[in-house]
A and B are shown apart, each in its own frame.
Chain A
Amino acid sequence: GQQVMQIPQYQHVQEGEDFTTYCNSSTTLSNIQWYKQRPGGHPVFLIQLVKSGEVKKQKRLTFQFGEAKKNSSLHITATQTTDVGTYFCAGLGSSNTGKLIFGQGTTLQVKP
């Protein structure tokens, strides 16, 4: 079945350093979504990418969708302590099933 793999599982960075998390799907995706979950909270939507090769930016966050629509990345420039949390990618399959599969998430810790 459809699987979404995400690496790394954990990342500790010094404040001001950059951070990247990678997401790979076993199947072609209709779209890829990114979420952030703060400790003790629920996942909150960040962005959605639909087109092959699409790149979107939100301030210090850059999101990319691969040409084959099977991989994606989230890059944070100059991390801040407010970036702490777990970042999940989620893939919506190419067939119209409504099935939304999440990656395992990358937990980011930022040392001030």
Chain B
Amino acid sequence: SQTIHQWPATLVQPVGSPLSLECTVEGTSNPNLYWYRQAAGRGLQLLFYSVGIGQISSEVPQNLSASRPQDRQFILSSKKLLLSDSGFYLCAWSKGLGPMGTEAFFGQGTRLTVV
């Protein structure tokens, strides 16, 4: 069966510090991978998505970046965090494209507080 691991669960970081959130998927190959951010009480904002190794699409210009060094690994990074980067970060995976695209499976999320 497929599983998705996202860590850490919670993180408190000072303004200006770097960030690295990691997400890995097991039990499937060539998944679509996503990073979403959810502000408190708000919807899911798509940050990055990837349909293959080295293919990263950015949705919102910001001081975050994403990388996919391996097929089932997706990393969200920042060189210098801002207060506005606080939020609930969710990694997700799915399979297929277009009408054959399947549902997304989410990790448990990382609650990031920038202080």
Contacts and interface: CB of A to CB of B under 8 A. Distances in A.
Nearest to B109: A42
Nearest to A34: B103
Interface size class on chain A is 20 to 34
Nearest to B102: A48
B99 A104 contact: no
Interface stretch (A55-63, A72-80, A86-94): A86-94
Interface string A17-33: 00000000000001101
Nearest to A47: B103
Interface string B24-55: 00000000101010000111101001110000
Nearest to B55: A98
B44 to A, nearest CB: 4
B43 A30 contact: no
Contact of A43 (B32, B41, B44, B57): B44
A99 B57 contact: yes
B90 A43 contact: yes
B30 to A, nearest CB: 11
B12 interface: no
Interface residues of B, number: 28
A82 interface: no
Interface in A62-112: 88, 90, 92, 94-105, 107
A88 B31 CA distance: 22
> Which of B32, B46, B98 has the most A CB atoms < 10 Å from its CB?
B98
B94 A100 contact: yes
Interface of B: 32, 34, 36, 41-44, 46, 49-51, 57, 59, 90, 92, 94, 97-99, 101-109
Given A92-B97, A92-B98, A97-B57, 11 more contacts: A6-B43, A30-B99, A31-B99, A43-B44, A43-B90, A90-B104, A95-B98, A98-B32, A100-B34, A102-B36, A105-B44
